[in-house]
Structure 1
């Protein structure tokens, strides 16, 4: 509740390893899966098809009209102006029709495409938010940000650019061939003979174009990653005067991207100019063949004019379709990545409604039982080989041990970020796997070492943007934990806008806000995971007072490196290698003279050095 992030690293959790790559068949599955988002827009796409058909037909009829004027009017020496006026009106109407339906087609396509991508983006974010913590152990946060932003934008380009090209340019190519065969089948067949040459050129260039495109994208990604890394570590760069070195490395990355980008642009220019040359050669061939036929009175001049107009347009749709190949390649990669995420099922699932055992927060006593549990992020390497622990309602329990002892893992299991491999975790005698997760997270409140604050006002961060929590409730909670005076000193009080992660506040102030958040939502079980680790002595005292306030009447578990934080706990658990090796009050454990006493003396020595 108070912190929305979790890290398993401190508890010996798994490393961030990339997920297994799916097989070749997944590309087709991914494509089908993403295209299902287009189904609700079937009628819109049908409308786009007919708009494109009407717009292109109106465009291609214009040269045909001019050929009629040349052959039926000018060539025979007719002086009938009414005929020319009629043709001029029809020509103007066709131009207007072409403009209107092209405009309508583009608007319909953008409407459908943007709706599809907005729904994909919404479903993707919603799906990610429901996945288990084990998923975030495997996926880097940066790659998920890329999925939500960059990959969905690439898919947007598919629906608004690639799909448009396939519909419009494909239809134009077919209609141009149709009109050419209507005008003169022999000349049309000569034009068709050029298509194999075009296909060879396209296939030859396609591999090279894909290679240069992917190389440019790869180097751009490395440049962005380098920039983000340096911006995050700017404090360190300036502290060690590394500006010149990092500028040199940035210049090297920038030069690499520049070179790859120029190579990609050059290859595209060569490809497009090759098509221009083929188009001009085809035009020369048609003019030579058609001109000879016209001179021999075997072909009308108007037909030759129309043919020349069509052959000039013939290569445009081919060029457009081929140039969209890189975008299509990017789309298939993005679709595959998104499909892989959307196809991932959460490992921690809510119980079936008929098997769920809901608990009301106000009725929870707060008894916790870890019954003979075993757990490991990797099943072959258990972090907690065995634990049998029982905590009384209202008891304050301190948990201490070195890094990797299993403290945070134990807390993650109680929050059900992961499910135990063996045994049960019970609250008031009910297996937490039988409690809906929404209710469980209302019962169990978690405050971590680095409390997470959103960009927004303080009041919204305390009530987590829930409008049903009144301003008075927020202010009362802040007074209770001692945060009210600090908030009142800010320029806009409770309406003060916080930057990302609350960077405008000190660590102690952020922690006090997280305590206030706990008071608003009133969990019956409270967990503090190293909540005072990064605080100075004065701020730690404020947080300790807040802890005493919020823990009253609640079952409280406190993980701490600073033993002073848990010295007054009802019971202290000492963990080592995933097991509880000692337990008792501070005085009892000191009297035993075991592992706890050793930790205590180490803490005293560290404090003396400071």
Structure 2
């Protein structure tokens, strides 16, 4: 933990400009609500004034009437009514102020959360390659909730307690200047303690947030891979690892609580010492006839209240430390600029989707995920419109990279990728993703109905179009057997449906959105033979009239392709029809022979 703390300390000490930039960016969200904040300010001022006038009224009653021997009942009744009125005014405006601030705070945080989620969806695939899903979940949920505390707690304390402190100091000096100056001695002591605790508290909060992200990330990872965990009987091992992450987070929380308690109790002790000192000094002044009893009563009331706003502000300082950590984390994401940008208006090419033919060209491209590692050193590939291309190769050959470049998840380092001779970098991404359709090995289904999953929650696509698409790919019969048919609700990732059924729904999506270029990334790799036949029939159906690129794990999927590419180390080493490649007795022929032998062994078994 010491190593982690030192690392955190180093990062915090070097990120002061980023913290300021983050704070300024988050506060910009408050600008549209500035008039509401003006209302909060005046409501707070009236509530505090009504609250602090009450001890002064009691002072007038004690010194000017009771001590002077005046026992006028009408006067006392009137003062009691005024006192009650002030209490009611304080309650009403405190209520208004709190509700206004909560309303504004929740609106601001909702805006931040919306912008953060929208920004994350625009970030490149390289960002998700190096970022854990658990950390991003923490950013969107927990970190934004912590920022909510800034607006609903910290900001409230700065406005209310700051104004209260100013009013109290004013009344204290109005009552007795000497006692007021004695009270001011505590302010430098408070400032010194806050500075001493500041660095320590920030380190603790930073460490706690990082432990929480790791715990959430580990939990999300295990929930996604629960089937694998149970198959390999990893429950005990994963529980052990979870306990370790949980213990780290528990330890960080305990350290945070210990720091907070020590910080707050220090101020409590300081406040009690100051109160005792003021009682002793004020009592001596009363005995020496230097001040009146009512003044001492009011002063003691104010000195007790004097430490309440200070204590609240210092307590909120702890919350502010936690908030700045969350602001840093969110701002580091928000300030990231997506590497894949839409073209500038003067460079953008307008594409008529109805006239797209689907000709695809990889023109002398090279690509690497980083500067030190080239995945595709050089590739020149030209695919005719309507042609069906199969791509095979060992793991790491560059098959999936090729598809990622065609979807423009990444940009090539050299050369260009074009569709109908239009460079993808000159095409808006929305247009590109209407032209290119992707079916992955594990189709992703969202929580929602089957019909919404097919049309991807696009209300302009009618129910009839969805049903027609499902009939087209052979999914209609399967769907109509379900209790609620197309209105059947699916849970996350479509649990409850078989792999083949989920894949058929993803094929129906393609029919609905009608892309001219279709990519299948090992779409039949995890299917049994019967389901593969169904999906193969759906593939033959949806690929008709489209340029189709099939990354194959099973060679049976691409044997009837117009052309088959064999890739190795990012280059095409063989290409031709199935018959031509088998006749060459090269890499493809070896793969085909191995596949046949495996199938025969399965049949004999």
Unaligned runs of 5+ in 2: 1-10
TM-score, length-scaled by structure 2? 0.93
Question: In the alignment, is the contact (CA less than 8 A) between 2:135 and 2:217 conserved in 1?
Answer: no
Aligned partners of 1:106, 1:249: CA distance in 2, in Å?
Answer: 43
Question: What is the match of residue 31 of structure 2?
Answer: 39
**Do the aligned partners of residues 418 and 231 (structure 1) sit closer, same or farther apart at CA in structure 2, a change above 3 Å counting?**
closer
Question: What is the match of residue 487 of structure 2?
Answer: 495
Q: How does 1:7-406 map to 2 (within 5 A)?
A: 23-214=15-206, 216-239=208-231, 241=233, 243=235, 247=239, 250=242, 254=246, 257-258=249-250, 260-406=252-398
Question: What is the match of residue 598 of structure 1?
Answer: 590
Confirm whether residue 481 of structure 1 aligns to residue 473 of structure 2: yes
Aligned partners of 2:170, 2:558: CA distance in 1, in Å?
Answer: 85
Alpha-carbon distance, 1:384 to partner: 1.2
Deviations 1:220-259 (A, max 9, x none): 5555455445544544554455555555555565555555
**389-398 or 379-388, larger mean C-alpha shift:** 379-388
Deviations 1:250-273 (A, max 9, x none): 556555555554454344334433
Aligned partners of 1:597, 1:132: CA distance in 2, in Å?
Answer: 38
Alpha-carbon distance, 1:386 to partner: 1.2
**Do the aligned partners of residues 246 and 386 (structure 1) sit closer, same or farther apart at CA in structure 2, a change above 3 Å counting?**
closer
Question: In the alignment, is the contact (CA less than 8 A) between 2:135 and 2:214 conserved in 1?
Answer: no
Aligned partners of 1:244, 1:161: CA distance in 2, in Å?
Answer: 42
**503-512 or 197-206, larger mean C-alpha shift:** 197-206
Alpha-carbon distance, 1:216 to partner: 4.8
TM-score, length-scaled by structure 1? 0.92
Confirm whether residue 588 of structure 1 aligns to residue 580 of structure 2: yes
Question: What is the match of residue 427 of structure 2?
Answer: 435
**356-365 or 93-102, larger mean C-alpha shift:** 356-365
SS at match of 2:412: coil
Aligned partners of 2:598, 2:567: CA distance in 1, in Å?
Answer: 20
Deviations 1:455-484 (A, max 9, x none): 000000000111111111100000010000
SS at match of 1:449: coil
**Do the aligned partners of residues 459 and 145 (structure 1) sit closer, same or farther apart at CA in structure 2, a change above 3 Å counting?**
same
**Do the aligned partners of residues 335 and 258 (structure 1) sit closer, same or farther apart at CA in structure 2, a change above 3 Å counting?**
closer
Aligned partners of 1:238, 1:137: CA distance in 2, in Å?
Answer: 26
Aligned partners of 2:131, 2:240: CA distance in 1, in Å?
Answer: 31
**354-363 or 200-209, larger mean C-alpha shift:** 200-209
Q: Which of 386, 401, 408 is equivalent to 1:409?
A: 401
Question: In the alignment, is the contact (CA less than 8 A) between 2:133 and 2:217 conserved in 1?
Answer: no
**Do the aligned partners of residues 235 and 428 (structure 1) sit closer, same or farther apart at CA in structure 2, a change above 3 Å counting?**
closer
Confirm whether residue 461 of structure 1 aligns to residue 436 of structure 2: no
Alpha-carbon distance, 1:604 to partner: 2.6
Question: What is the match of residue 518 of structure 1?
Answer: 510
Aligned partners of 1:220, 1:474: CA distance in 2, in Å?
Answer: 42
User: RMSD value over aligned CA atoms?
Assistant: 2.1
**566-575 or 434-443, larger mean C-alpha shift:** 434-443
Alpha-carbon distance, 1:434 to partner: 1.7
Deviations 1:110-164 (A, max 9, x none): 1111111111111111112222222222322222221111111111111111111
Confirm whether residue 448 of structure 1 aligns to residue 440 of structure 2: yes
Aligned partners of 1:24, 1:526: CA distance in 2, in Å?
Answer: 49
Q: Which of 547, 551, 555 is equivalent to 2:543?
A: 551
SS at match of 2:564: strand
Aligned partners of 2:373, 2:190: CA distance in 1, in Å?
Answer: 59
Deviations 1:183-219 (A, max 9, x none): 0001101111222333344444445545555555555
Alpha-carbon distance, 1:335 to partner: 1.4
Aligned partners of 1:552, 1:411: CA distance in 2, in Å?
Answer: 20
Question: What is the match of residue 17 of structure 1?
Answer: none
**451-460 or 49-58, larger mean C-alpha shift:** 49-58
Unaligned runs of 5+ in 1: 1-19
